[in-house]
Homo-oligomer: A and B are copies of this chain.
Amino acid sequence: MIVTLTTDFGASEYVAAMKGVLLSMDKDLRIVDVRHDIAPGNVTEGAFALFTTAPHFPFAIHVGVVDPGVGTERRGLAVVCEGAIFVGPDNGLLMPAAKRMGVKDVRELTNPAYWRHPVHPTFHGRDVFAPVAGHLCTGTKVADLGPSIHDPVDLGFGTPETTSDGWRATVISVDRFGNVVTNVPGPEAEGRWAYGAPVRIEAGRRTLAALFVRTYANAPRGALLLTVGSHGFLEIAANGDSAARMTGLEPLASVLLSGAPS
């Protein structure tokens, strides 16, 4: 069985403790780190990491812990999908990935028989989510974890506001190359804009010119561009430069994109 881990813990002993708990329950399971450098408490960035990676895995249990509400009354979830089970807090972290893969059942984690005791109030990753994943690896049925629920928190990535010639979008994620992922679905951009046409980017006080292109190499060296990234969303990039630096955009920022009609 494969268990993936996505957290905002950094490369810390918190992650290692979760791995120890998992291996104590099933010494043969395969643990894969997805990301641990999610900005502390940034649920959207964590949701995006799960959304982009889970579909590439064979059947796996994906544990997500970006959990600013730990220790409060927020629920814990196990979301059963086609080819995957997601385990983590009920705060919007799991649902975009789960819906992409096809949700079959959402269970609230209420049965303490599958937790590690005493449960520390600030470390459900080690004491609730890892043990639940370990039990699922060793044959526990999802139905034993708790009751089905029908109202999991689902923030998606937000819906960009459609304007006459584009969108007011939100930044989901910025990678280390400075590529800025927006929440505009790629197919929608392809439906409204022509490849090769100019797009105006308004970010804070900056107004910048870019081209909507199929791939980086189709834009001049150093120029801003918009393209559909490998994740399926509209991305602001620069051919050989950092779009994040050029635009000043950061995760959760707002940006106005105005293109030529296709």
Chain A residues at the B interface, C-beta cutoff of 8 Å: 2, 4, 8-14, 16-17, 19-21, 23-24, 27, 30-37, 40, 48-49, 52-58, 68, 71-72, 120-123, 126-127, 175-177, 214-217, 227, 229-231, 240
Please tell me which one of the listed residues B12, B24, B34, B127 contacts residue A175 in the complex, with CB atoms under 8 A apart.
Answer: B12
Q: Are B13 and A34 in contact (CB under 8 A)?
A: yes
Q: Assuming the A-B contacts A16-B32, A20-B53, are A11 and B37 also in contact, with contact meaning beta carbons closer than 8 angstroms in the complex?
A: yes
Please tell me which one of the listed residues B9, B31, B58 contacts residue A24 in the complex, with CB atoms under 8 A apart.
Answer: B58
Q: Nearest Cβ in chain B — how far from A44, in angstroms?
A: 13
For the complex, what is the distance from the CA of A230 to the CA of B16, rounded to whole Å?
13
Q: Are A30 and B23 in contact (CB under 8 A)?
A: yes
Chain B residues near A35 (CB, 8 Å)? 11-13, 16
Chain B residues near A13 (CB, 8 Å)? 34-35, 48-49, 52-53, 231
Please tell me which one of the listed residues B4, B71, B230 contacts residue A123 in the complex, with CB atoms under 8 A apart.
Answer: B230
Chain B residues near A49 (CB, 8 Å)? 13, 16
Q: Are A176 and B12 in contact (CB under 8 A)?
A: yes
Closest 8 CB pairs of A and B: A20-B56, A121-B215, A20-B57, A10-B176, A123-B230, A16-B34, A120-B230, A16-B53
Q: In the complex, which residue of chain B has the Cβ closest to the Cβ of A239?
A: B71
Told that A13-B34, A21-B56 touch, could you supply 19 new A-B pairs with CB distance under 8 A? Answer: A2-B27, A10-B37, A10-B175, A11-B36, A12-B175, A13-B48, A13-B231, A16-B49, A17-B53, A19-B57, A23-B32, A24-B58, A40-B177, A56-B126, A71-B215, A120-B230, A121-B214, A122-B215, A127-B230
